[in-house]
Amino acid sequence: MWTRGREATVRALACRRVPCRRVSGPPWRLLFFGSDHFAVESLKHLTSSRSAGGPVQTLEVVTLSGDVPVKRFALQNRLPVHSWPPRGLDGRFDVGVVVSFGCLLHERLINKFPYGVLNLHPSLLPRWRGPAPVLHTILHGDRVTGVSVIQIRPHRFDVGPVLQQELHQVPEGCTSDQLGAALATKGALLLLDTIRTLPERIAHQKEQSRTGATFAPKVSASVSWMLWEEQTCEQVDRLYRAIGSRIPLRTTWMGRTIKLLDFVGRCHVSLLDERRKPVPGSVSYLKESNTLAVCCKDGWVGFQAVLLKKRLTAADFYNGYLHQETQPAAGRFISRLHGAAYRQSGSSSRSSSHSAPA
């Protein structure tokens, strides 16, 4: 099996038309491309694998300008650092590794590596190709995800043949930060295993399925605006777990922007008149749990703090604002979709004195 695999690898390398220093296997001369904390986990494992008998002989780093985590780690561990795009690579490296880098590698650069360029991606490709797979895994409620090691192809991200994949069950209620950390560790170990057996992995690589491909674009701040009439409790929960640590959920109140903090999930609210259906965006203060409950499409969700001019607990916001207001509109959060109409209606004398939400 090993002989057939090695022969297949030699044929693959010959097709690349790149001078090959050797085809016998590790240890490799490796060039790492990365930028963020997810990439640092793989770089740590590769750095440790340079010991006697490890799969890495030499390790150098390409990273982006600025004070990014990969650059800090490389400098702290005395790894040679190249700026992007790198130059003078001819004949110096056997294989490249890309982890959370964000820049497309040109075909001329890929061809400088006799064994190609590997990419660690935190999803089960072809699902969630693109720059934000972990966020979209949470946003769409996926129960299973994983990590993939592929070979990079030019011109398009995340479309190369798969060398290895490993499944990962998504824990119930986990955040994107928690899932990302777990996948970073699992992916680093899978990447290291791939590098140890690279000729065999290349020989048995598989093209990605033509079906089931989905795209995971970057998530902008615009998705943080609540649409109480359209979003279910589960959708609000997913959104908060996906982006809440980076982008606070936002709504409008009396023409002002409110940032919603410390999400506590679905709430039960007892209304004085159970026959009267609450309007989406309605706000109720739950004294026992110090929670602001907000009505969405299919129930109530709770937050224990908000950011107005400053951070306020639910009790502070209720006592300082809601409790003192006599207008019906004061007890409702308005979706941004409807915020302009609300401000133009003149239903609140206060709304004209506050700026529109950013």
pTM comes to 0.85
Distance CA 99, CA 210 (A): 24
**Which residue's entry shows tokens 């996906």?**
242
Give the span between the Cα atoms of 112 and 302, in whole angstroms. 54
In this structure, of 17-26, 171-180, 262-271, 338-347, the range with the lowest mean pLDDT score is: 338-347
Model confidence pLDDT, tens digit, residues 88-107? 999 999 999 999 998 999 99
Looking at residue 4, its pLDDT comes to 47
39-49 average pLDDT score: 97
Nearest to 167 by CA among 181, 151, 183: 183
Sign of CA dihedral 99, 101, 107, 109: negative
What is the predicted pLDDT for the residue at 143? 97
Higher local confidence (pLDDT), 341 or 66: 66
Q: What is the rounded radius of gyration, in angstroms, for the C-alpha atoms of the chain?
A: 26
pLDDT exceeds cutoff 70 at 197: yes
The three-class DSSP label of residue 278 is: coil
Single out the residue of 143, 332, 302, 175 nearest to residue 239, CA to CA. 175
288-298 pLDDT, tens per residue? 999 999 999 99
Q: In what order do the strands lie in the sheet with 28-34?
A: 81-83, 56-63, 28-34, 95-99, 117-121, 144-151, 162-169
The DSSP bridge partners found for residue 59 are 30
Asked whether the predicted pLDDT for residue 316 surpasses 90, the reply is yes
Q: How many residues does the chain have?
A: 358
**Element holding 307 (H helix, E strand):** strand 299-307
Query: Measured over all CA atoms, what is the biggest interatomic distance in the chain, rounded to whole angstroms?
Result: 82
Mean of all residue pLDDT scores within the chain: 87
Terminal-residue alpha carbon distance, the chain: 61
pLDDT 10s digits, 138-155: 999 999 999 999 999 999
d(C-alpha 256, C-alpha 18), whole Å: 61
